Amino acid sequence: MKHVLVVDDSLVIRKTLEEYLQKSGYKVSTVEDGANFFKFISETIPDLIILDKILPDEDGFDILCKLKLNQSFNNIPVILFTTHDEFENEMQGLKLGAECFLSKDTKLEELELWVDKLIAKQEKIKVIKDNLDSLSKEIADKEGIILEKVMELRDTNRKLRNLSEDLIQVLLKTLEVRDVYTRNHSMNVSKMSLIIASYMGMNHDQVADLKIAGYLHDIGKIGITDSILKYPSRLDDKKKRVIENHANIGGDIIGSVSSLKHLAGFIKHHHENFDGTGYPDHLKGDKIPAESRIIRIADFFDALSTDRVYRPAFSVERTIAMMKDKSGQFFDPEILDIFLEVINKSSPIKT
């Protein structure tokens, strides 16, 4: 049952409104002045207030102001109820937040209509507000869940990244045990490859992939026997075929690691030549992954410009001259030009 509070110093008005509205199905309470009004609402919040403009101890407008400034009460609809000669104050009462301004001459039927209408409106507002509150809570809960998932995902990614980095170190260490030359060579190829990739404008992920692929490009040498891997002079064709198989073995090893398998093709094809004369699949031009074309250049440069078991290092100038000679045959000419630019900037070499 909806609850109406009548605030009026006139006993006749209080009784009349109480009886009339009770018959219409409302619970009605009455108080005769401001002091009792505030005592009442500190204990019970009514659904609507019918407020006399002039009370013995307080002005109705002052009460209205206090109500509308208090968050606990400012949603209660207020009908200002006043004698005819105070009607000129209507605009002021409405500005202060009263929902309705009625003369005490108003017929009770009309007053009841206003009570019905304002309580129904308040009810609708309450339903909308409750829905909004519930929606806000739902959104806040979902935001909390999403944030939690994002944090979990970040944590998982971090662990995966650490695991991948650990795995790369294990693989490199394993290769190093077999072939001491390889560790420095792998680091040089990785460094040069990522610099070329950055110059080419590759994105952050591609550069990061190339850094790892550069490290691991010769990982397949794990599967080559010592008698061939450490052969102290030039290899014959048969031995060459065996050592060339390190590209396939490397692709297979990296392809078997779920967090690295997208790098398998880069590693498998790092000995393909731009003109299709390389190995293992004789890929040509753009069919060779760009990452493999980059590693091909970095690998060749480092291999020739450092000492090997079967020969001393070539000078940087001679190595570059040989590479320029193989532009378009071994190497992608565009990437080679970028590489030469990088080399030129990092050291004053005449290219």
Residues within window 74-133 making contact with Fe ion, judged by CB under 5 A: none
Please state the closest distance from residue 196 (CB atom) to Fe ion, in A.
Answer: 17
Give the interface segment with Fe ion, choosing from 88-96, 158-166, 211-219, 225-233 (CB under 5 A). Answer: 211-219
The amino acid at residue 116 is D
Binding residues for Fe ion, rule CB under 5 A, total 1
Task: Report the SS3 class of residue 28.
Answer: strand
Concatenating the DSSP letter of every residue in 286-344 gives GGS-HHHHHHHHHHHHHHHTS-BTTBPPPPHHHHHHHHHHTBTTTB-HHHHHHHHHHHH
Q: Which residues pair with 49 in a beta bridge?
A: 5, 78
Give the interface segment with Fe ion, choosing from 17-25, 181-189, 218-226, 261-269 (CB under 5 A). Answer: 218-226
Could you confirm whether 284 is annotated as catalytic?
A: no
With CB atoms as reference, the residue minimizing the distance to Fe ion is 218
272 makes contact with Fe ion (CB under 5 A): no
Nearer to Fe ion, 77 or 250 (CB): 250
Which H or E element spans position 78?
strand 78-82
Give the interface segment with Fe ion, choosing from 32-40, 101-109, 210-218, 287-295 (CB under 5 A). Answer: 210-218
Catalytic residue among 221, 230, 284, 345: 221
Nearer to Fe ion, 218 or 332 (CB): 218
Please state the closest distance from residue 190 (CB atom) to Fe ion, in A.
Answer: 13
In this structure, what DSSP letter does residue 24 have?
T
Nearer to Fe ion, 52 or 218 (CB): 218
Whether 76 contacts 47, CB under 8 Å:
yes
Contacts of 114 (CB under 8 A, 6+ apart): 79, 100, 102
Nearer to Fe ion, 218 or 272 (CB): 218
Give the interface segment with Fe ion, choosing from 56-64, 150-158, 216-224, 261-269 (CB under 5 A). Answer: 216-224
52 makes contact with Fe ion (CB under 5 A): no
Nearer to Fe ion, 86 or 218 (CB): 218
Nearer to Fe ion, 80 or 171 (CB): 171
218 makes contact with Fe ion (CB under 5 A): yes
Contacts of 319 (CB under 8 A, 6+ apart): 301, 304, 305
Q: Angle formed by the axes of helices 180-200 and 290-304, to 10°?
A: 130
Cα separation, 62 vs 33, in Å, equals 12
Closest CA to 263 of 291, 283, 282, 243: 291
Burial of 230 (C-beta count, 10 Å sphere; 0-12/13-18/19+): middle
Please state the closest distance from residue 231 (CB atom) to Fe ion, in A.
Answer: 15
Please state the closest distance from residue 351 (CB atom) to Fe ion, in A.
Answer: 24
- The footprint of Fe ion (CB under 5 A) covers 218
Residues annotated as catalytic are 221
